[in-house]
Amino acid sequence: MDEKFNESTKNRPEGDRPVDSPVVLIDIPSFIKQIKNEKAWDKNDRNSVTVFKTDKMRVVLVGLHKGAEMTTDHPDNVISIQVISGKIELHANNDSMNIRKKQAVALHEQVPYRVVAVKKSIFLLTVTA
């Protein structure tokens, strides 16, 4: 298996972090700190970092400010959302539910959804291929 690393960018010049390897440690507190310390967090209603990415699965740590929304109308993948901090409202399948810290939700493919941050929130979004 070839290891894959993230590339450095203008916003993340350090680069060279493994995102696909036989074992990838995901230091959530460090990534939360990174998200909150970047200019994108101050300038936008959200910020995120991909912490693991393969052909079959992607794990993204997402931060949303209160009131920010994330919508997918035609999802082709099974997903899960695990709230690390804060509280979100998930709208899916003509229903809505509040998901708090230490709670998670999973959705099958082809289930359109909308996430709204009830308050400033951080969550792990896992997407399968």
**For residue 87, what pLDDT is reported?**
98
Distance CA 103, CA 88 (A): 10
Nearest to 17 by CA among 6, 29, 2: 6
Please report, in tens digits, the pLDDT of each residue of the chain (129 residues total): 565 555 545 555 455 667 888 899 999 999 999 999 999 999 999 999 999 999 999 999 999 999 999 999 888 999 999 999 999 999 999 999 999 999 999 999 999 999 999 999 999 999 998
Domains, the chain, in order of start with CATH, read 4-128 (2.60.120.10)
**For residue 119, what pLDDT is reported?**
98
Q: Which helix (H) or strand (E) holds 29?
A: helix 28-37
